Structure 1
Amino acid sequence: MRDEAAFVEFAQSARGRLRRTAYLLCGDWDQASDFVQEGLVRVYVRWPRLVRHGGELAYARKAVVSAYLDHARRRSSTERPQEADPTLASDEDVATAVATRAALMAALAQLPPRQRACVVLRYFEDLSVEATAALLGCTEGTVKSQTSRALFSLRSMFEDSPFGELAEGAASW
């Protein structure tokens, strides 16, 4: 039997953290909300079994990452923006910290989906190699090699940029 109230309480408490993780994966808050929604649908389907065995948050995180990876495998949309939104502030008006964050998000966006997932889960979600491998359904060696390649790529992107401090701190994210 499905306990609706418990699921709603779980979804409300986990939604913010899952959305931040999804944002780090995709770089778009609206798309992150879609991935969280899809992940929570997957959690809802398995809710009775999850409650019996525990690990609701771990399964929800895995469902969100899977939704992102599934989306990354699909062909891109045919929708293309026509012009910049004049109501949004330009990058020149943004504080240095926000510009640095934008540069990091842009660099993350250039990584292949699997490498990006490894970096986000290891350094932003602070998961161990073992937990990351279990979540992505691969070996620990794959997580280590994908993370190493991703960090090398990120360092090389920031070497000669105004955000060179990101290259130096890449190991401590």
Structure 2
Amino acid sequence: MADYEEFVRAQLPRLLRYATMLTGEREQAADLVQDVLVKVYRRWSRISDADHPDRYVLRMTTNGYLSWRRSRAARLVTAAELPDAVRPDDFASDHAVREDMWQRLARLPRRQRAVVVLRYYEQLADAEIADLLGCAQATVRAHAHRALTTLRNGLAIELVAEAMES
């Protein structure tokens, strides 16, 4: 099992980053990766013989995320008043932009979110994503299109609302 331990040491940071991008929360990502690695341990003799065990485990992580049935409570924090302008050295505004994107990604359906993360974070081609998700490349492109449209529409609605307030 030494090769399993080496594999986990080498792949754990990547798997945790990937799972965090999918779930949006470090704790949930750690739980997901732990669940997957337990399954990997049980099947290691078969998985280690595969051409790309790292891709196989990435697919297991994706499938685990897509099939998770844990309910997630929505956490919305509203501010009574927003500041008038953002200072260039305001690190809080950078954090707010990243948090806003996390919230937008969290609202996407799971498959769309998985496609976006695999395409833009893991930088995989449509064929690789289709292989990981077990679907056609056209389905991957459709999920990506719908996800990006949803993200763009959300931004456009906010920009129009801001313009109307001004």
Query: Fold-level match, TM-score > 0.5?
Result: yes
Provide TM-score, normalisation by structure 1.
Answer: 0.77
Distance 1:80 1:66 in 2: 23
Match of residue 41 from structure 1: 38
Tell whether 2:126 aligns with 1:154: no
Distance 1:32 1:65 in 2: 11
Distance 1:69 1:160 in 2: 28
Count of residue pairs the alignment pairs up: 147
Partners of 1:19 and 1:32 within 8 A in 2: yes
> 1:1-173 alignment to 2 at 5 Å?
4-71=1-68, 74=69, 76=71, 95-161=92-158
User: Offset of 1:53 from its aligned partner?
Assistant: 2.6
Provide TM-score, normalisation by structure 2.
Answer: 0.80
- Show CA shifts across 1:42-99 (max 9, x none): 222221122223311101111111111111xx2626x898xx9xxxxxxx99522222
- Could you tell me which runs of 5 or more consecutive residues in structure 1 were left unpaired when the two chains were aligned: 85-91, 163-173
Write out the 4+ residue segments of structure 1 that deviate beyond 3 Å after TM superposition: none
Distance 1:80 1:96 in 2: 22
Please provide the CA RMSD for this pair: 2.2
Partners of 1:22 and 1:64 within 8 A in 2: yes
Distance 1:125 1:119 in 2: 9
Higher-Rg member (1/2): 2
Distance 1:5 1:108 in 2: 37
- Could you tell me which runs of 5 or more consecutive residues in structure 2 were left unpaired when the two chains were aligned: 78-82, 84-89, 160-166
Partners of 1:40 and 1:63 within 8 A in 2: no
Distance 1:62 1:75 in 2: 19
Distance 1:133 1:76 in 2: 27
What letter is aligned with 1:76?
S
Partners of 1:7 and 1:47 within 8 A in 2: yes
Identity %: 39
Distance 2:48 2:36 in 1: 16
Distance 1:64 1:108 in 2: 18
SS of 2:16's equivalent in the other structure is helix
